[in-house]
Amino acid sequence: MKKLCVLCCLIVFYGSNLFAISEEGYQTNYMNYVKPYYENGEFGTFEGVNSIKIAYAKFEVADEKGAIVILHGKSESMIKYAEVIYDLKDLGYSMYLMDLRGMGFSERLLDDDTDKIYVHSFNDYIADVKTFVDTVVQAKLHTKTIIVAHSLGGAIAARYLEQFPDDFNGAVLSSPMLTINAEPFTQLEAYLLAAVSTRHGHGTDYIPSGGPYAPWTFVEGTDTHSYARYIMERDLLNDYPQIRLGDVTYNWVKQAMELGWAAQFDARAITVPVLLFQAQDDTAVKPAGQNYLCRRAHDSRKIFFYGARHEILMEIDSIRDEAMNYIRDFIEEL
């Protein structure tokens, strides 16, 4: 009876968050559990648009329930989402991740400065994801496939769902980058500056005040309240200097804004269920585009996270655990 009481207390205390590692003892648990799980994945590359090498990882399981595809945000790499896939592993789904062109472990696009965030066209991102889905993900038959995408990845996923509505059965968009925060410029001013600069041959130049990679500190206003997860990302950048990136370029901003507008305009073409996470204290993207997409998509649900910053999936435990529970429930209910 005593053991039963203890077990019941543990269940009440931890709720449904037994899958997550806590910020308390985070580094030890990350090294002991998350890192080994991630390193046991299968890694490879495929050729994207213009033969750019795109890095990917897959974590396939036997007798799976389906597949989960994960897309990262701007300046990130799939390795940053090791904790996310560790948290989702007990669902019984095979999981697939890729690094967007010019980011993470994928091939850079500019030789003069590999820290620059640049892309010729955002359609190249979408084409790369399509190739990834067709050649890597769908190389194994799945009963259902879900995409989980953050920020830049969320904007790409939204546009992808509009163009290829039959490839996924559902989507989780965390802080999707549908309206970038262009302050101190207005949206129109930022777009005109980026478009004119690109037209006059400066598309590969950094935006004003931008530059190569430089370490940042937690007090500078990161996109998460979690110091433990901030340290995790800092350590990854130290351990894998090849994934470091600086600021964005003019053409990247132009392309990003155009994609966001297109994704909003064509949102009615999204027919699969969508779970969208919106952060109250998001300084990276504005909520307008997210709200507009939710109103127009056929089957969408917006979850508003009070007190959360942009990186909801990397937030403090109280916010992140809630988000992961929403993801798990959404996937299991599809």
**Distance separating alpha carbons of residues 126 and 146, to the nearest angstrom:** 16
The model's pTM is 0.94
How many domains is the chain built from? 1
Please give the Cα distance from 214 to 115 (Å, whole number): 10
Residue 56 host element (H or E): strand 53-59
Pairing of strands 145-150, 170-174: parallel
Assigned domain for 56 exists: yes
Length of the chain: 334
Per-residue tokens: 297: 């998509």
Determine, yes or no, domain membership for 147. Answer: yes
Does residue 7 belong to any structural domain of this protein?
Answer: no
**Residue 80 DSSP symbol:** G
What are the b/e assignments for 273-287, b being 16+ CB within 10 Å? bbbbbbbeebebbbb
- Cα separation of 26 and 49, whole Å? 39
Q: Which domain holds residue 39?
A: 16-333
Q: What is the per-residue pLDDT across 91-123, written as a single tens digit (0 to 9) for each?
A: 999 999 999 999 999 999 999 999 999 999 999
295: domain CATH number is 3.40.50.1820
Alpha helices (H) in the chain, listed in sequence order: 2-14, 26-29, 35-39, 82-88, 122-135, 152-163, 187-197, 227-239, 250-265, 287-296, 317-333
Exposed e or buried b per residue across 54-71, where buried means at least 16 C-beta atoms within 10 angstroms of its C-beta: bbbbbbbeeebbbbbbbb
Number of Cβ atoms within 10 Å of the Cβ of 209? 6
- pLDDT score recorded for residue 25: 95
- Say if residues 59 and 71 touch (Cβ distance below 8 Å): no
Token pair, residue 104, equals 């993470």
Evaluate whether 54 touches 107 at the Cβ level (below 8 Å): yes
Alpha-carbon distance of 315 to 323, in angstroms, equals: 9
Residue 10 lies in a domain: no
What distance in Å separates the CA atoms of residue 232 and residue 227, rounded to the nearest whole number? 9
Q: 2 in a domain, yes or no?
A: no
For residue 183, how many other CB atoms are within 10 A of its CB?
10
Residue 108 is assigned to a structural domain of this protein: yes
- Counting as low any pLDDT under 70, the low residues of the chain are 1-19, 219-221
Instruction: Report how far residue 230's alpha carbon sits from residue 14's, in angstroms, rounded to the nearest whole number.
Output: 24
Is position 5 within any domain? no
Residue 1 lies in a domain: no
